[in-house]
Structures are given as C-alpha cells and as structure tokens.
C-alpha cells in the first residue's frame, strides 16, 4: 500500500514568525494518518526542520543539478540535505515558466536529489491552451518521460500532477479529468518501470482546499496532494490532512 502524502508548497511566502503555523499544525495533528511534508522558502528550511524535529518532513522548493560551484543564488541538493531537508520539489510549473526549465533540466535536478538521498517531487502539468486543444495527455506523457530519471523508484520519486490553469486560480478539473490523468500517469509508469510503478505516489495539485479535498482524494490513483496557499495556515492544511488521513 502506498502511504498517502499531504505536501505543502509555501512558494515565496513565510518569515521566521510563520513557523508558529508549523507548531500549531504539529500540535493539532500529532499522529496524522498520512505523511506530511512542508516545503518553505530556502531561508526557512533549517529553522523549520528544527521546529519539526522529524514529526513532519521538510523539503526545498528547487535545487541545482550540480553539487557545488559558481552558481550564484542557487542551492544544491546537498545543501538542502545539510539544512535538514528530506525532499525537494523539481519542475514546478512556475519554475518551468518563469525560469525556462526544460524536462532535461528537471530530470538533472531530480537525479541530483536522488544522488544526495533526497526524495524528488517531480511536477507535471498542462496549460489552459494545451487542455483546450486536447493535448493534455500528450503533454503530460512527454513531461513524465523527460523529467523522471532512470534511477527513480517508488521510494525516491513522487509525481505531482498540477494543471497550470488550476494553480492558485480557484478552478479545478472535474473528478473525471483528474482520474483520467492520474490513471494515464500510472499506466505510463508501468510501461517504463514495470511492477515498481505501483510504488510511485501520485499527488494532485491545483486549488486543493478543505472544501474539495475529500472528493479529490477519493479519485483513482490520487495518493495525496501538493497544496499551495492552503498550506500556509495550520487550520486549512490541517483540514486537508484530516481529509487524507
């Protein structure tokens, strides 16, 4: 059985004072029925890991493909691990769009994460234009093939499907549309990784909130969520954790 995962992506939000939300989350859910992961800005990774004390997992929002070097402003997977992270998000649509990250770049980052013992959360997702043109599965298939390294296993890589047009917009795909994509991803993983494919956890992300979490989590091949804004407050993220656990 794949253990459910509730992952929160704080994006470019959060200061030291925000760690009180982590303390509140842990106090309210001391023994959640799923794994819980929070990915704060890099400035808070070490501090959050100190607060979490292993009770919830902490991850980075991105990493460089290289271990070290002349890459001003970048952070390596090794640095994240040293700061207390156990996971790292790679290939988020905002990185792909704002920083021009290709599937090959995302794959290299994921491979770097695996080499350091981090779990890579690899993000996939189509734009509104791609959805409207009927290209969703073609786009997702290409991103999956190009972004997931050959060394991936169910224990080291998590796949997050986040339709770009649903992130932070309040819009969500229908449950049937979510099921179609998640079932497709599982099928593609089976073709590539065989029986190992059953171990990969598939998260849905895109305007997940307490009011729709339970119905989304009941969808075929949805093993959890990658949550944006709703993960910033303990009350909201806690309700999502409760729906999943």
Q: Catalytic residue, from 101, 126, 162, 188: name it.
A: 162
Q: Identify the CA nearest to 109 among candidates 139, 131, 88.
A: 88
Out of 29, 92, 94, 188, pick the active-site residue.
92
Residue 71: partners with Cβ closer than 8 Å, 6 or more residues away: 64
Q: Cα–Cα distances in Å, from 52 out to 38, 71, 208?
A: 10, 29, 23
Residue 92 annotated as catalytic: yes
For residue 64, indicate whether it is catalytic: no
Alpha helices in the chain (DSSP H): 19-28, 45-52, 77-82, 93-99, 103-115, 128-132, 136-147, 175-193, 213-217, 234-244
d(CA 191, CA 99) in angstroms, rounded, equals 31
Q: So which residues are the catalytic ones?
A: 92, 162
């Amino acid at each position: 059985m794949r253990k459910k995962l509730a992952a929160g992506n704080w994006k470019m939000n959060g200061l030291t004072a925000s760690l009180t939300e982590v303390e509140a989350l842990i106090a309210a859910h001391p023994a959640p029925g799923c794994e819980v992961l929070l990915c704060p800005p890099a400035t808070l990774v070490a501090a959050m890991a100190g607060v979490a004390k292993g009770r919830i997992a902490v991850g980075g929002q991105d990493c460089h493909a290289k271990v070290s070097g002349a890459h001003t402003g970048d952070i390596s997977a090794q640095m994240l691990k040293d700061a207390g992270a156990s996971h790292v998000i790679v290939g988020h649509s905002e990185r792909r769009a704002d920083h021009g990250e290709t599937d090959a770049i995302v794959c290299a980052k994921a491979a770097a994460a695996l080499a350091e013992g981090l779990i890579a959360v690899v993000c996939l997702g189509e734009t509104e234009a791609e959805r409207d043109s009927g290209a969703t599965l073609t786009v997702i298939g290409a991103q999956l093939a190009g972004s997931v390294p050959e060394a991936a296993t169910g224990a080291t890589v998590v796949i997050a499907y986040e339709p770009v047009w649903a992130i932070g917009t309040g819009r969500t795909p229908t449950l049937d549309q979510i099921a179609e994509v998640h079932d497709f991803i599982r099928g593609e993983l089976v073709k590539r990784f065989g029986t190992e494919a059953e171990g990969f956890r598939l998260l849905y992300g895109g305007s997940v909130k307490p009011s729709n979490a339970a119905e989304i989590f009941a969808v075929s091949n949805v093993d959890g969520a990658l949550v944006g804004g709703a993960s910033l407050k303990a009350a909201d993220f806690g309700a999502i954790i409760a729906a999943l656990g």
